[in-house]
Each structure stands twice: as structure tokens, then as C-alpha cells.
Amino acid sequence: MAINILRFSHQGLTRWGVVRNGAITPVPGDFSTTADFIRANSVASLSALSGETIAEAAVKWLSPVTANQQFVCQGANYRQHMVESGMDPDAKTFNMIFTKAQSCICPADSDLVKPAHVRFLDYEIELGLVMKRDVTGKVAVTDADLPGFIAGLVIVNDYSARDIQIPQMQFYKGKSYRTFGPVGPYLCLLEPKDFSLLKRLDLKLTVNGQVRQQDSTANLVYGPAETLTELSGVQDLYTGDLIATGTPAGCALSIPSPAKQKIGALLPEAVKWRAFMKVQAGRPQYLKGGDVVEARIASADGTIDLGLQRNRVVEERA
């Protein structure tokens, strides 16, 4: 059965623990990285763990993915998000891959700092996969193989500065400001029988209580096995590394229709981007100081529940 793990700080110590009904059972041992924790502990041994408990409310959350791990991301990977982005999900032309800076990784309840020069701050709820083993060569991965490659799941929010990402064509810069990558609260470790739920997880993101994004992993275009197969032919992945699998429709960003994009391509760069910025300025969905973003991912039967991620937007002082 899937089990939730929390990395936390309590009384000056950083520890890992099993979460059950709002109480944490600390895991014996010192694990400085996510890779160290995964290598040293099995779901079976953690499920059998007993002993003293600490109230979850008494601890400070930390990210269950430590900042040494790679942060790889997929873009435009839900059917409706591709449609609203002017792409055909059935064409499956390419799997969009990019990375975020590891330094943007932060706890699930962190304040989201909106840089003073950023106008269009966007949200993106995503299911994160945490690697179980190293992959240093090309492999062909099937759905049946996934328990050998994936240790567990986390909630990720791929916050994005659209006025940096789009006009400057800078995915890395636009998505890597510090606090732009909250992870957790829980690392949900899976047993083989839990993997069938990977294609039936519900994602929901709200801003100030209003639903902005809601979808199911059933609508992923490139599934985890397909993506791992492709990534293994490109780069090395290591135990504890994080792969964010894309976000559903409903972001604040408004992408011009394919027809408008063709027209825009004929315009001088300055004119094209001036028009783009004008359209975005009319979108009230972009985040501002004081907004509260909440994200949840769970299976309908509650077997998998990745917890609640909650971020308050704070304006950076110029």
C-alpha cells in the first residue's frame, strides 16, 4: 500500500518520517538526500515502522526532494492544454523537455516570491515522479517496468514568469526563480500494485478558492514509461531525481491561435511582443501579492493522496 513520507525540521534536527493520520513516526537514521533515503528504506519496512510520534502540526515542512537532485520537466503534456496551446495532441510531434534550477526547489507551504520586475506570474500544478534507480544508458521502459524505475510521487508547482519565458524564449530563466518550485508536502512511495493508479489521479488547483485547473492523469499525452524511454536516450538520471510531467489546461497564460501566430511571425519582433504583452496585461488570472494557491493530487479512492500544497504570493521589494 502507498505510504506518505515527510521530510521535516523539528527541534533543530532534519528528519524523515512516516505520516499517518496527522502524526509522524520518525525514521531512524540520517539521510542527507532523497537518494540516500530511497536507497536505505523499503515501503515494507516503512509500513511496519512503529514508535514515538510527533504531531505533524508541530514540525516545519521541508521539500521531500532535496536540492541536489535534478529537476526535469515536461511541457504541454495534457490533451486539453495542448489544444489551448494550438497543438494537436494526437499528432504527438515531440515530447517537450526542459529543466528548472534546483535552487528553486522549496517546501510545499513556502511563500511564492514574485520578483519585482515580473508582471505575469503563472501557476502550473504537476504530478512529479521521483526516480528509484540510476539510469545511465538507453533503456526501453514499459508500464509494467515502472515499479523498477519510479519510487514515488509528489506534487509540484511549476511557477512561471511568462514575461521572461515567452518573449525572451527562456524556459529555464522564466521558471527558475527561487521559490518557483514547491515540492510536496509528501513523497508518496508506491508498491507495484499502486502503479495502476498512475493513470487515474485527479489534479486540482485553486487560486483564492477559485478552481483554475482540474484534470486527470488519464489525459497525459506522453506517459511516464514513454518519457523515461526517451529521456534515457538523452541524459543520465539518478535515484531521487524529479520529473514533473506537465500541467493541465487553465493556466493564466493566453496563447495566440495558430492563425494569429502565423501573422505574428510576419511582424517585427518589437511589434509582435508588444502585442503579446498587451494581451497578457488584460488577463486577471495572473498572480499578485496576497493571492493563495492551493494544489491537490489524489486518487478517487484515497489510496494515493499527496497532501495539500499551499503557497501565498509575496511581492518582492524593489
Each residue of 197-225: pLDDT tens digit? 999 999 999 999 999 999 999 999 999 99
**Predicted confidence (pLDDT) per residue in 240-252, tens digit:** 999 999 999 999 9
How far the first Cα of the chain sits from its last, in Å, is 48
Residues 57 and 124 both lie in one domain: no
Residues 76 and 42 both lie in one domain: no
Q: What pLDDT shows up at residue 93?
A: 84
Residues 38 and 125 both lie in one domain: no
Percent pLDDT > 90 in the chain is 85
| Structural domain contains residue 18 | yes
Evaluate whether 286 touches 119 at the Cβ level (below 8 Å): yes
Q: What pLDDT shows up at residue 284?
A: 95
Evaluate whether 23 touches 53 at the Cβ level (below 8 Å): yes
Residues 270-281 have a mean pLDDT of: 86
Instruction: Flag whether pLDDT at 317 surpasses 90.
Output: no
**Predicted confidence (pLDDT) per residue in 27-36, tens digit:** 999 999 999 9
Number of domains in the chain: 2
Q: Check which CATH number belongs to the domain holding 271 and give it.
A: 3.90.850.10
Q: pTM to 2 decimals?
A: 0.95
pLDDT band at 275 (very low <50, low <70, confident <90, very high): confident
Residues 186 and 38 both lie in one domain: no
**Predicted confidence (pLDDT) per residue in 124-162, tens digit:** 999 999 999 999 999 999 999 999 999 999 999 999 999
Residues 83 and 33 both lie in one domain: no
| Structural domain contains residue 20 | yes
Residues 177 and 95 both lie in one domain: yes
| Structural domain contains residue 102 | yes
| Structural domain contains residue 107 | yes
Identify residue 23 by its one-letter amino acid code: A
Rounded to the nearest 10 degrees, the angle between the axes of helix 269-281 and helix 258-265 is 140
Residues 282 and 210 both lie in one domain: yes
| Structural domain contains residue 160 | yes
Handedness of CA 23, 71, 243, 90 (dihedral sign): positive
Residue with cell 508541530: 58
How many whole angstroms from its chain centre is CA 162?
Answer: 17
Tell me the pLDDT of the chain averaged across its residues.
95
| Structural domain contains residue 66 | no
Domain range for 80 is 71-315
Residues 99 and 57 both lie in one domain: no
Question: Half-sphere exposure of 109 toward its Cβ, with a 13 Å CA cutoff?
Answer: 12
Lowest mean pLDDT among 84-88, 167-171, 189-193: 84-88
- Residue with the larger pLDDT of the pair 85 and 43: 43
